[in-house]
């Protein structure tokens, strides 16, 4: 039976994307005075506690049941590392430009799915990939305010996110969603929890920073919940192109919080990346892989 509430699904998707943009903007704000690894670690721990409190009583053992545990754990660590690289990139780059480059991952997934998953790559896949990389070159052009180190961190995040999305496709048929979400939060909490003795800082956050730290896990967890709920109410073919509305949220928040306005060439590059992603979404007509934290 097809989803019966497309308007509600669209609104839920838009709200989820706004929360993701708020989370990235908060990460950038905090990264100006705190370690990116500490920020990501606090976010994963908050997400884990939120999941345990809300889903633990109703789902219990289902949250730890897996059939291919090694791949589930590998997928979780790919996302944990991607989250760190995203935070590092956000420290060096504006939110909108960082978000645009990160959207290369679902575009590259079309190419990687050929040799890895045995899926056919059509001409539109190659065209979308070329347009996506042209967009990155426009954003990172010589003379722009984007630093090479920021681009490097963003591309490392794309690589880790690509591995995460490939493994998500491989595991989709055999694993339950709650276990995948739980192991993702658990792996990140363990990874950054072990490093926490070296991440503790000698200066305490102020009131605003403390509120943002506390809200990171909530924004990520609630965003993923709304994003998943959206696909129960509306078809993937309708929602997939909407993912690129996150660029608008990122641009708006970047302006409101940091006063940043992307230049004309950077806007053109972001439009190329968004356009190539929409092309992929419309051609595949499948639910997009889950967004990175």
Q: List, for residues 193-239, the tens digit of each pLDDT value.
A: 888 888 877 778 899 999 999 999 889 888 878 887 887 788 776 77
Higher-confidence residue of 166 and 63: namely 166
In a domain, 135, yes or no: yes
Predicted pLDDT of residue 283: 67
Residue 212 lies in a domain: yes
Which of 185, 201, 223, 196 is closest to 47 using CA atoms?
A: 185
- Is residue 172 one of the residues assigned to a domain? yes
CB 12 within 8 A of CB 230: yes
What is residue 288's predicted lDDT score, i.e. its pLDDT? 47
Q: Which tens digits make up the pLDDT trace of 28-37?
A: 999 999 999 9
Whether residue 277 is contained in a domain is answered as: yes
Per-residue pLDDT of 77-95, as tens digits, reads 999 999 999 999 999 999 9
What is the count of structural domains for the chain? 1
Residue 3 pLDDT exceeds 70 = no
Q: Which helix (H) or strand (E) holds 142?
A: none
Tell me the CB-side half-sphere exposure of residue 233, using CA atoms within 13 A.
15
pLDDT in tens, 232-286: 788 776 777 788 888 889 999 999 999 998 888 888 988 888 888 777 777 665 5
pLDDT of residue 34: 92
Range(s) of the domain holding residue 90: 6-284
For residue 293, tell me if it sits in a domain.
no
Q: How many other CB atoms are found less than 10 A from the CB of residue 118?
A: 7
Would you say residue 273 lies in a domain? yes
Report whether 50 contacts 221 (CB < 8 A). yes
Q: What pLDDT does 290 receive?
A: 52
Give the pLDDT of residue 284: 61
**Which of residues 147 and 135 earns the better pLDDT score?**
135
Q: Is 1 within the bounds of a domain?
A: no
Domain for residue 291, yes or no? Answer: no
């Amino acid at each position: 039976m097809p989803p019966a509430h497309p308007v509600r699904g669209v609104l839920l998707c838009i709200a989820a994307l706004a929360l993701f943009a708020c989370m990235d903007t908060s990460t950038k704000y905090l990264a100006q005075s705190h370690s990116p690894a500490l920020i990501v670690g606090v976010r994963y721990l908050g997400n884990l506690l939120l999941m345990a409190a809300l889903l633990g009583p109703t789902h219990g053992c289902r949250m730890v049941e897996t059939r291919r545990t090694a791949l589930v754990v590998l997928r979780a660590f790919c996302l944990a590392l991607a989250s760190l690289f995203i935070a590092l990139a956000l420290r060096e780059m504006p939110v909108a430009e960082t978000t645009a480059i990160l959207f290369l991952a679902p575009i590259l997934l079309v190419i990687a799915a050929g040799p890895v998953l045995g899926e056919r790559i059509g001409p539109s896949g190659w065209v979308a990939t070329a347009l996506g990389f042209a967009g990155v070159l426009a954003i990172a052009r010589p003379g722009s305010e984007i630093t090479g180190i920021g681009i490097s961190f963003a591309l490392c995040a794309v690589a880790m996110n690509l591995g995460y999305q490939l493994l998500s496709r491989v595991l989709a048929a055999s694993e339950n969603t709650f276990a995948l979400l739980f192991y993702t939060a658990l792996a990140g909490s363990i990874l950054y929890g072990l490093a926490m003795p070296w991440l503790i800082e000698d200066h305490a956050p102020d009131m605003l920073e403390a509120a943002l730290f506390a809200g990171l896990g909530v924004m990520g967890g609630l965003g993923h919940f709304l994003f998943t709920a959206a696909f129960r109410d509306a078809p993937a073919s309708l929602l997939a192109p909407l993912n690129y509305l996150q660029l608008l949220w990122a641009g708006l928040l970047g302006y409101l919080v940091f006063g940043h306005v992307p230049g004309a060439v950077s806007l053109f590059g972001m439009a190329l990346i968004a356009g190539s992603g929409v092309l992929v979404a419309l051609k595949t007509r499948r639910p997009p892989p889950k967004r990175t934290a």
